[in-house]
């Protein structure tokens, strides 16, 4: 998944190709938590119908975010005079930040006001040495892709969200007798880092992300993303060699187990190790007495999709991933 530095950015005025603001100019301001402007900006981003639309509900959400060592302090508002027009929030995790922008139709919130706030948040994130800024957009959204493209973001891929209900048919589907399961501890972290790096080689799982963050930052980000930290993490070893890694996250609010990451090193691909990893994920979900296992997979990752399909995962949603790297190189 740090404290607020109080950096104020005076961003230059921006123009979004294809949109017109009728000659209005926007001033971008940093918005501090606890202020009235903060509550208003959060309502603009989440919408009045959001379950987190009230200040007290948002405060609980932010407290939960901070308890997992993230930051919700990268908030910028675009103003026309004294009126808040749009806003953008980045939630920080090690080496990366996830951006939230208003989901309202363009007629309600001018896209170029959102662009101004987005550019300010991206610049503030890069100034804090965050290497990767990312967002997830609905494929049906017609306005926001143009906003993110104008802000220097590039389309990464479409993520498919899959769910698997637990079934009695899963029992005994895969034997993992030849696999040694090494749980995560501070002492085994080097083994996890090595297994992660090996699984990235020639991977079809969002390959453009490889190298944008350090492997230790990636691991720390996974630790902060769920409610269970590293409690349900394993390296799958054969003959003392780490060939696979499984990172599960118990999401207590939604009552599901998420496959946060699953990867196999090239020498073990096609050997059935992916099935052994999923069998382990199913086993742990059962031990938690939960009914659903979830995962998000790169749409272009056909081998992984075949494995998930074989295990009875069904699609429940999709999102388009957009990213910007601090190097300035378009992906």
Q: Say which CATH class 163-319 falls into.
A: alpha beta
Measure the CA–CA gap between 234 and 166, rounded to whole angstroms: 21
DSSP state letters, 147-210: HHHHTT-EEEEEEEEEEEE--GGGTTSS--TT-EEEE--GGGHHHHHHHHHHHHTT--SSGGGT
CA neighbor of 151 nearest in space, from 285, 17, 320, 315: 17
CA neighbor of 102 nearest in space, from 119, 124, 123, 77: 77
The list of the chain residues with pLDDT below 50 reads 1-23, 51-54, 65-70, 72, 328-331
Measure the CA–CA gap between 285 and 166, rounded to whole angstroms: 8
Measure the CA–CA gap between 202 and 266, rounded to whole angstroms: 8
Structure confidence at residue 60 (pLDDT): 57
Specify the CATH superfamily of domain 27-152.
Answer: Gcn5-related N-acetyltransferase (GNAT) (3.40.630.30)
Measure the CA–CA gap between 304 and 308, rounded to whole angstroms: 6
Residue partners of 97: CB distance under 8 A and separation at least 6? 74, 90, 91, 125, 130, 132, 133, 134
Structure confidence at residue 7 (pLDDT): 21
- For residue 19, the surrounding DSSP H or E stretch is none
Evaluated on CA atoms 135, 296, 222, 236, the torsion sign reads negative
318 close to 159: Cβ distance less than 8 angstroms: yes
CATH 3.40.630.30 residue spans of the chain: 27-152, 163-319
Question: What would the pLDDT profile of 11-47 be if each residue is shown by its tens digit?
Answer: 233 333 333 344 458 999 998 877 778 878 888 887 7
83 close to 139: Cβ distance less than 8 angstroms: no
């Amino acid at each position: 998944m740090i404290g607020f530095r109080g950096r104020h950015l005076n961003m230059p005025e921006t123009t979004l190709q294809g949109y017109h603001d009728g000659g209005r100019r926007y001033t971008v301001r940093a918005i501090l938590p606890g202020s009235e402007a903060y509550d208003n900006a959060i309502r603009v981003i989440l919408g009045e119908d959001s379950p987190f639309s009230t200040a007290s509900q948002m405060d609980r959400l932010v407290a939960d975010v901070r308890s997992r060592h993230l930051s919700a302090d990268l908030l910028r508002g675009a103003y026309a005079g004294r009126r808040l027009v749009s806003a953008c929030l980045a939630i920080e995790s090690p080496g990366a930040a996830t951006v939230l922008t208003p989901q309202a139709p363009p007629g309600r919130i001018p896209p170029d006001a959102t662009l101004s706030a987005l550019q300010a948040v991206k610049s503030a994130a890069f100034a804090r040495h965050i290497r990767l800024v990312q967002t997830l957009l609905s494929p049906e959204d017609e306005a926001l892709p143009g906003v993110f493209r104008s802000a220097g973001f590039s389309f990464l891929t479409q993520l498919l969200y899959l769910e698997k209900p637990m079934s009695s048919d899963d029992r005994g589907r895969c034997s993992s007798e030849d696999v040694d399961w090494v749980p995560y501890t501070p002492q085994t972290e080097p083994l996890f880092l090595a297994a992660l790096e090996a699984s990235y080689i020639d991977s079809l799982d969002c390959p453009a992300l490889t190298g944008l963050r350090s492997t230790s930052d990636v691991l720390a980000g996974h630790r902060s993303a769920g409610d269970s930290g590293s409690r349900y993490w394993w390296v799958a070893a054969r003959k003392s060699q780490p060939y696979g890694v499984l990172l599960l996250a118990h999401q207590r609010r939604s009552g599901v187990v998420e496959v946060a990451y699953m990867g196999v090193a090239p020498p073990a691909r096609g050997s059935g190790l992916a099935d052994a990893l999923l069998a382990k994920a199913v086993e742990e979900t059962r031990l938690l007495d939960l009914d659903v296992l979830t995962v998000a997979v790169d749409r272009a990752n056909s081998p992984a999709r075949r494995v998930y399909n074989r295990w009875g995962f069904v699609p429940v949603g999709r999102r388009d991933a957009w990213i910007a790297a601090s190097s300035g190189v378009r992906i």
